Structure 1
């Protein structure tokens, strides 16, 4: 007889360790699993109040419940002097009697300021187009003509001979072929003489100190000492 089934080595018993595929015929002990390490920022972040956090008794889950409370402000500054006018400010004599009729009176206010954003030009800023010439789009114009300049070539006034005209010649000076006329020249203006002359005045002289007309003994003066080696000046040399 031939066996067609699997051999004994093909069968395997379920494990008795762990929780997955545990043998249900055996008693399983409590099993625990290890989770991966959490991020350290979770432990560093404090999302809950600590022991120092104090919750006021008036704060409930329905909101803040408390009685009326009052606060004291600072002392206000004393009011200054009143700004009301005195009795002498009024002028009852200027008020007309209310029972009398009087014409209406008006007052002139100050001139209002121009708007800074108003850039509309004034009436005198506009200029009307001229009525002379053909360049008027809204007005009919008469026929107009222009006169061009005279051509130098091809016209009746063309100078074919290229000779100078009478106005090209210059006149000769008559002094060239006639007796020369007297000529004069004008010098520049002389300087005005100043009032301060270097000559002495009459009060500068002292006639009482002049003694040239007195009789006196001859007097001599000593000149400078000359060198012994200096050659004397001979005015008239003898002729040999």
Structure 2
């Protein structure tokens, strides 16, 4: 009898599984009636009716929550309790508009039986006629009494002041020579010993290295441990898979 070869069973390895993590799963909802958690008690659920599409049922044909119902109306009809209202103030009629006592001013009335002093009034201005084209008194003016032109009177002597003449006056410059302010003083170095003169050179720069160097704050002497005692320090290694073949260095025959 031929021996049957048995195939090794494929044992699944957890490291090869690439399934979703715990965050991919969610507990069922406890609100509503769809996909409700079956381990929890579900309360009764109610739904609202839908709006009818029939045009005879519209929101404007039915009273809303603000519909006012009189408190005197009951399901048996209106109650028989008497009710009273207050009327507004009536308007005054024209026949009853009698003046009050304060409307009269008896102090302004002349005493009866006594004589009156003469009283005069000023009439309004009458319209001018076309024949009254006479000028008013303020249209005339007396002639001036100043100057040489005075009519019907003898005028006194009058004098006028002329402008300054450029020729023959005291300001005329017959020599046409410049004044003292036209000349400038001579330089003393021309007729005396010349003084030493100095000039200012341009700014020069010192030669140096232009590379960037670290400052005092760039160094950390507290981290130096070559000449000071140092506490032991440890580091964490990386996680290795248990299915990786170990490194074998010593091979024996």
TM-score range relative to shorter protein: under 0.3
- TM-score (ref. length: structure 2): 0.22
Structure number with bigger Rg: 1
- TM-score (ref. length: structure 1): 0.23
